[in-house]
Every structure is written in structure tokens, then in C-alpha cells.
Amino acid sequence: MHPQRRAIPAGILFGRTFLRHPRMLGSVVPSSRFLISRVLRPVDWPRTRVVVEAGPGVGTLTTAILDRLGGDGALVAFEMNHTFVSHLRRQIPDRRLVVLHRTAADAETALAERGMGAVDLLVSGIPLSGLTREARLELLEGWRRLLRPGGELLVYQFTRSALPDLRRIFGRVRREFEPLNVLPAWVFRCHAP
Ligand SMILES: C[S@@+](CC[C@H](N)C(=O)[O-])C[C@H]1O[C@@H](n2cnc3c(N)ncnc32)[C@H](O)[C@@H]1O
């Protein structure tokens, strides 16, 4: 008989994975509940059915999104780290959630492969400052094409370095700041034209 494996607490799993992949994670702890509620507060949930999450980590925002999403909604999460992918698949058994072990830069292709149409909401916590400018612009252009007209992109970051590129691709960008997070974070809100 196999001894039963106990799940590692999410915060410890996150910190341990950060020590191995600091650039990929960009943060030593998951987002705080203050940042999560600031990111998700402006969303028009009754009009939101298809959601993409880039970089769910241990699923702190993922579960908050699922709590707000309707029963016929779909959430496709892109995560590069295989430890997090296994954790999410094991810990969040929700038929609306699909966790893909792929870069969020593949979102357009991956959704087309699944026959999924335009996306209402894309939420991203991936560290955009770690990408080259060329890769960042390509990623953001792909995300803009993925969103339905009027669809929303919510990006949270520790710096404002991605702001000029967000403006270049989306035009107007609304900004908010959340001090109650390690580290304090900016939330950028953009709409697809
Ligand atoms: C700052 S952590 C955010 C984790 C979680 N969303 C939160 O708010 O606590 C960034 C996450 O993005 C993932 N990541 C980094 N680059 C990625 C990419 N190109 N595509 C998908 N996930 C990525 C990392 O593995 C990590 O889980």
C-alpha cells in the first residue's frame, strides 16, 4: 500500500518554487487578498463567460475567478511551471477550469485548437518585465486579437515598465495601485478596441 501523500501548503510550495525559478515567478509569495480583490473588482461578471488566466501559480486568483464566474463559464489557465500545473489540477477540481502547461504567449493558438471563440477577460500576473521588448509586444498583440471587442485585459505588476507597451497596443490604460501586497503592485486595465 502506498502511504497517502499530503499536499504541501500552497504558500510553501510557491516559496520553494521561487527559489528554483525566481525569474519565471517574479515574486516570493502569492498575491494577497487585497490585490486579488482590487484586480477582480471592476469586472462585469454577468457579461463574462470565457476567461483566460496567464500564470496562475498556486491558484490564488484562479479560485477567486471561479467563485465569481457563472456556472456556464470557462476558465483556461496557462502555466509554465509543471509543479504548479500538477498542484492546480489536483487541488482545483472544477469542470469549468482547464489548466494548460504552456506559455501564455500560445493563448491564441491554444484557444483556436479548442474551438474557443473570443475571450471576455484575460487576467495576467506573469512578470512582463522579464521578457524582451519584442516578445512582450508580440504577446500583447496576440492577447488583443484574442479578446472580443470591448473585452478586458487586467495585468498586475510590481513595476510600471510594461505601461508604454500596454498603451501602444491597447491605447488607454487605467491604473490602480495596491500597497497591501508583497511587493506593492500596480493593476493595469485595458480594453480591446
Ligand atoms: C508572480 S507569479 C503570480 C502567481 C499567481 N497568479 C498569484 O497572483 O499569486 C507569476 C506566475 O506566472 C508564471 N509564468 C511566468 N511566465 C509565464 C508564461 N510565459 N506563461 C505562463 N505562465 C507564466 C510563473 O510560473 C508564476 O506561476
pLDDT of 1 higher than 50: no
Per-residue pLDDT of 170-179, as tens digits, reads: 999 999 999 9
pTM comes to: 0.94
Residue nearest to atom 9 of ligand 1 (CA): 30
Return the residue matching grid coordinates 519584442. 134
Identify whether the C-beta of residue 50 lies closer than 8 Å to the C-beta of residue 120.
yes
182 domain residue, yes or no: yes
Which ligand 1 atom sits closest to the C-alpha of 78?
21
pLDDT of 169 higher than 60: yes
SS3 146: helix
Which ligand 1 atom sits closest to the C-alpha of 56?
6
1 domain residue, yes or no: no
Split at pLDDT 50, 70, 90, the class of 5 is low
Write the CATH number for 83. Answer: 3.40.50.150
Q: Residue 55's closest CA among 115, 124, 106, 112?
A: 124
Q: Residue 82's closest CA among 99, 96, 69?
A: 99
CA of 92 to the centre of ligand 1 (A): 17
18 domain residue, yes or no: no
Residue 5: Cβ within 10 Å count: 7
Residue 18: Cβ within 10 Å count: 17
Per-residue pLDDT of 137-149, as tens digits, reads: 999 999 999 999 9
Split at pLDDT 50, 70, 90, the class of 8 is confident
Per-residue pLDDT of 102-135, as tens digits, reads: 999 999 999 999 999 799 999 999 999 999 999 9
| pLDDT of amino acid 30 | 93
143 domain residue, yes or no: yes
| Rounded CA separation 187/183 (Å) | 13
> Average pLDDT of the chain?
94
62 ligand 1 Cβ < 6 A: no
Of 126, 129, 131, 182, best ligand 1 pocket probe by most atoms within 8 Å of the beta carbon = 126
Calculated CA dihedral for residues 97, 87, 80, 174, nearest 10 degrees: 60
11 domain residue, yes or no: no
**Domain hosting residue 99, numbered range:** 28-159+173-191
Least confident of 86-90, 116-120, 165-169: 116-120
Residue nearest to atom 18 of ligand 1 (CA): 103
Identify whether the C-beta of residue 78 lies closer than 8 Å to the C-beta of residue 62.
no
88 ligand 1 Cβ < 6 A: no
Which ligand 1 atom sits closest to the C-alpha of 35?
8
Output the nine-digit C-alpha cell for 126.
506573469
Split at pLDDT 50, 70, 90, the class of 2 is very low
| Rounded CA separation 13/87 (Å) | 9
26 ligand 1 Cβ < 6 A: yes
SS3 162: coil
| pLDDT of amino acid 3 | 44
6 domain residue, yes or no: no
164 domain residue, yes or no: no
| pLDDT of amino acid 28 | 80
Percent of the chain with pLDDT over 90: 82
104 ligand 1 Cβ < 6 A: yes
* 179: DSSP letter: -
Q: How many domains does the chain have?
A: 1
Split at pLDDT 50, 70, 90, the class of 4 is very low
19 domain residue, yes or no: no
